[in-house]
Amino acid sequence: MWKTHLKKSFGLVDKRFAGHPMEEQQAREARKIIKRDGVLWAEIEGEITRILQGATPAHVQDQLEKARKFFKL
């Protein structure tokens, strides 16, 4: 379930993490589930990398940093 919310946390076109209020809401939902279920950063990082497949390595790293700060992991 957290994976669905996480995927919706990224823009369809720009692939930015929580760049729009609706995406930020999805990120908050993902965070709630992730904390409740004790999901590890390695799992989240892997899923974000999968979501951003095809993006530049620099973009992926930038979004991973933003997500890690948001999830406080």
Rounded Cα distance, 26 and 18, in Å: 8
**Closest Cα to residue 46, out of 59, 56, 60, 33?**
60
Q: What is the pLDDT along the chain (73 residues), one digit of tens a residue?
A: 999 999 999 999 999 999 999 999 999 999 999 999 999 999 999 999 999 999 999 999 999 999 999 999 7
- Tens digits of per-residue pLDDT, 13-32? 999 999 999 999 999 999 99
CA distances from 63 to 32, 36, 37, 59 (A): 19, 23, 22, 6
Asked whether the whole model's pTM tops 0.75, one would answer yes
